[in-house]
Every structure is written in C-alpha cells, then in structure tokens.
Amino acid sequence: MNLRTFGRAGFGVGTVGAVAVSLVLAAPQASAWVGNLNVAGSDHKVGCSYKLTASVEVDRLTSVKFTDNGVDIPGSPVSPSLLSGTVSITWKPTTAGSHKLEARQLLIGDSINVTVGEAAATGSAGCGGGLGGLLSGSA
C-alpha cells in the first residue's frame, strides 16, 4: 500500500463516520413520529382504567404498540387515524408499583413512568367514578 491508498481509505472511513454522526444527531428529530405520551387521571390505582394518548405527527400508517413494563397492553397495537394526530388505548393496571408505559412506532418511541397504588377498598367507586372520572379520562 502506498500513501495514496491510505489517503483514500482514510477518506472513506471519515465519510462513514461523518454520516454516522449526522444520523445520531438527527435521531432526536425523528422522535416526532410518536411522542407526547400521557396518561389521564392522577392517583392511579390497580383495577381502574385510564386513557393513554400519544401524538402521531409523521407516520399515520404504521400502528403504535403500547406496553406496560415491556408487556403489550391488551388492544395493542393501535392503528392511527389518518385524520387525527393522536392515538389512544385504555390501560388498566393489574399490579401496584412503578410502571414504565411506552408507545412505540417502528424504532421510535416515547415512555413515561407512573406509580400505581393498591386497589381501593370501595371497588370501582375508588376509581374516581361519577362524571368526574369520565371527564378526566378514566373509564
């Protein structure tokens, strides 16, 4: 190998490195596909239902997978509407403690952590019931 060959190899490696860096720097912008994950209500309890909503701003053709601590939430994945910028699912936690909720579309996702308390001794009435529960997104 001569100096000219090393120069070409160095240029090729440098180009690949520059492309890789630009992809990494652009990755946060790609999170606009699915994001802004939120859960309705507060003081979350085992056995109560809550609406999870995520925005879908770029890809409205690919379904969104919702998980709770890595396990698919029943009804997931959800196909977004072409007319809406959001996608939703009902989440009903079955265990108390910390829950990592995630919405994922292809390789891009958003997550939030929610603490769930023990079920209320009053049953579903402890879920917020009445019109207040319905209006806040609990079902």
**pLDDT tens digits, one per residue of 100-117:** 999 999 889 999 999 999
Distance CA 137, CA 117 (A): 18
3-class secondary structure, 47: coil
Q: What is the mean pLDDT of residues 41-66?
A: 90
Please tell me the pTM assigned to this model: 0.67
Token couple for 12: 């090729």
* pLDDT higher than 50, residue 22: no
Encoded amino acid at 70, one letter: G
3-class secondary structure, 126: helix
Distance CA 91, CA 30 (A): 26
Sign of CA pseudo-dihedral 41, 45, 50, 53:
positive
- Token look-up 């001794």 returns 121
* pLDDT higher than 50, residue 4: yes
Confidence at residue 58, expressed as pLDDT on a 0 to 100 scale: 76
